[in-house]
């Protein structure tokens, strides 16, 4: 009989797997198949050695550990906004009627900011959304014949912007202009027949309805000021010159005051200034509701330039309404006036809460170098009439607290009001990161900028009219639609106050639907 033969063979990896395993975690699966590719001595009927199996198991364990570490790192740093898609975008509205004075600064917000009281957070967001409405409804399309106006009339404003549950009704639109001579390259519209070459829609006055009034403990009048959009307003912002206001030593920035007080008989909408328009409306509302025996407050809000106008508005209101509780809740507001202006605001009892972001440069201007920090040298410098100073209490936010935001320097994105509202909604205290149960839709941050981390896959600057306002007509041609007659800026807006004066209190009830 022939002797049994022994052979040596090289077993190729693709023919002889020795072990297979699968590593799975958080929906990710990886199969590992190890092959014995060394020279072995085989005999008929002999199984491969255990060496390959042990090798596969070792590799599998190592890969399991690697996957776990990377997935844990990934899931802890990449937000999942899909988990919030079926949750409300607003925090519950609590009854704050017994605490509203504290929430509006009667104790200068002591023990309410760090940590941030949830009732105060909700109110800050509410007023911030009113300020955001002045951007969302502003027509700044240079191809539009209504460039510089509001896209909607006051009865439809909150409906169009999803603010019907705010508990407020708009009673008045405010228009502003400036008398500063502008260079030709700063002209706003490319059209010769724009609705107004002089005026811009600058904000609105609103008042709380009966249900909201009961919840918040008083009848609240709100004035919301728009921030800088028009080039002429940017030009005004750059006027780094103090101008006297009132009879004392108080001085304010020249450009801000120009926007607030400018008027001209030759204009269509600014025969009266923004100041005069607002004060007439506030006076009517205060007299009407106080006449009914109600407690009334005035809350003024605004972002950026709007925050500056809010302070000027508060100063004037305090001069005209003795005993009226006035508070300002501003976002990204620059310095407005000198120390004497600040001190007068304090003496008149105006409470101001400034919401800022550490990385935003706008709140540092004007007066980046010469500002309120020099007050400590009063003994040397004397009264600092020429130095800009901030007003009120500061709630300082930080973009690094939110895992949803890019951390690179983005001056425009950091300054956007939606970025501010996102951070307010997630703020707990100065030592804690973003709260996990924040309500506001994260997607809103990218409405007009690129601040959300790329992993979210949210396109930047996504907020715009469908097809940029163009529609197909009956023949299938793309055309610019005409506005509904009730949405066209009309001189009747200017005569609105006169109508109310003629109709009296009954007219107020009719027009406000209250």
Query: Taking each helix axis from N to C terminus, what angle separates 254-261 and 274-291, rounded to the nearest 10 degrees?
Result: 60
Concatenate the DSSP letters of all residues of 301-356 into one string: EEETHHHHHHHHHHHHHHHHSTT-EEEEEEESPPP-EEHHHHHHHHHTT-EEEEEE
Query: What is d(CA 495, CA 31) in angstroms, rounded to the nearest whole number?
Result: 76
Alpha-carbon span 55 to 70, nearest angstrom: 23
The closest of 240, 235, 262, 259 to 251, measured between CA atoms, is: 240
Instruction: Please work out, in degrees rounded to the nearest 5, the angle formed at the alpha carbon of residue 424 by the alpha carbons of 418 and 426.
Output: 105
- CA–CA distances in Å: residue 64 to residues 17, 29, 77, 228: 20, 10, 20, 54
In this structure, what DSSP letter does residue 388 have?
Answer: E
- Is residue 381 within 8 A of residue 374, CB to CB? The reply is yes
- Centroid of chain to Cα 224: 13
- Do the Cβ atoms of 300 and 260 come closer than 8 Å? no
Q: Are 338 and 366 in contact (CB under 8 A)?
A: no
Residue 2 sits at φ, ψ, to 5 deg, of -70, 145
Which residues are the active-site residues?
Answer: 304, 360, 415
Q: Minimal CA–CA distance to 439: which of 67, 39, 86?
A: 86
Percentages helix, strand, coil for the chain (3-state, rounded to 5) are: 40, 20, 45
Cα end-to-end span (Å), the chain: 115
Dist. CA 425–CA 21, nearest whole Å? 46
């Amino acid at each position: 009989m022939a002797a049994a033969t022994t052979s040596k063979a090289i077993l190729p990896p693709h023919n002889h797997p020795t072990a297979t395993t699968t590593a799975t975690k958080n929906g990710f699966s990886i199969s590992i198949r190890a092959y014995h590719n060394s020279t072995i001595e085989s005999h008929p009927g002999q199984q491969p050695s255990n060496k390959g199996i042990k090798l596969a198991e070792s590799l599998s364990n190592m890969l399991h550990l690697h996957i776990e570490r990377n997935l844990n790192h990934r899931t802890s740093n990449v937000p999942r906004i899909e988990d919030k898609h079926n949750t409300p975008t607003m925090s519950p509205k609590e009854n704050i009627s017994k605490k509203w004075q504290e929430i509006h600064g009667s104790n200068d917000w002591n023990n309410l900011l760090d940590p941030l009281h949830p009732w105060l957070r909700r109110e800050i967001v509410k007023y911030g959304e009113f300020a955001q409405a002045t951007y969302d409804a502003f027509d700044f399309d240079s191809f539009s014949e209504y460039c510089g106006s509001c896209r909607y009339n006051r009865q439809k404003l909150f409906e169009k912007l999803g603010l019907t549950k705010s508990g407020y009704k708009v009673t008045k639109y405010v228009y502003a202009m400036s008398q500063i001579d502008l260079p030709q390259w700063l002209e706003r519209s490319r059209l010769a027949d724009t609705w107004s070459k002089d005026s811009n829609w600058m904000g609105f006055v609103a008042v709380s309805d009966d249900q909201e009034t009961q919840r918040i403990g008083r009848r609240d009048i709100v004035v919301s000021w728009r921030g800088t959009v028009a080039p002429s307003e940017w030009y005004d912002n750059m006027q780094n010159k103090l101008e006297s206001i009132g009879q004392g030593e108080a001085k304010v920035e020249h450009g801000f005051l120009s926007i607030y007080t400018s008027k001209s008989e030759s204009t269509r909408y600014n025969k009266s200034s923004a100041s005069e328009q607002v004060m007439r409306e506030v006076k009517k509302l205060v007299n009407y509701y106080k006449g009914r025996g109600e407690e009334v407050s005035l809350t003024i809000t605004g972002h950026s330039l709007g925050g500056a106008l809010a302070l000027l508005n508060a100063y004037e209101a305090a001069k005209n309404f003795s005993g009226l509780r006035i508070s300002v809740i501003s976002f990204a507001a620059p310095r407005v006036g000198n120390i004497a202006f600040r001190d007068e605001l304090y003496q008149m009892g105006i409470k101001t809460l400034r919401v800022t972001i550490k990385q935003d440069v706008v709140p540092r201007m004007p007066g980046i170098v010469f500002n309120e920090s020099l007050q400590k040298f009063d003994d040397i410098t004397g009264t600092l009439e020429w130095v800009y100073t901030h007003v009120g209490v500061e709630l300082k936010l930080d973009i690094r607290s939110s895992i949803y935001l890019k951390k690179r320097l983005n001056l425009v994105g950091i300054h956007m009001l939606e970025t501010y509202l996102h951070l307010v909604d997630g703020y707990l205290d100065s030592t804690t990161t973003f709260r996990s149960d924040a309500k506001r839709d994260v997607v809103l941050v990218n409405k007009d900028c690129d601040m959300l981390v790329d992993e979210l896959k949210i396109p930047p600057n996504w907020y715009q009219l469908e097809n940029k306002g163009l529609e197909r007509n009956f023949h299938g041609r793309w055309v610019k639609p005409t506005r509904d007659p009730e949405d066209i800026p009309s001189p009747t807006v200017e005569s609105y106050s006169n109508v109310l004066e003629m109709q009296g209190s009954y007219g107020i009830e009719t027009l406000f639907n209250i």
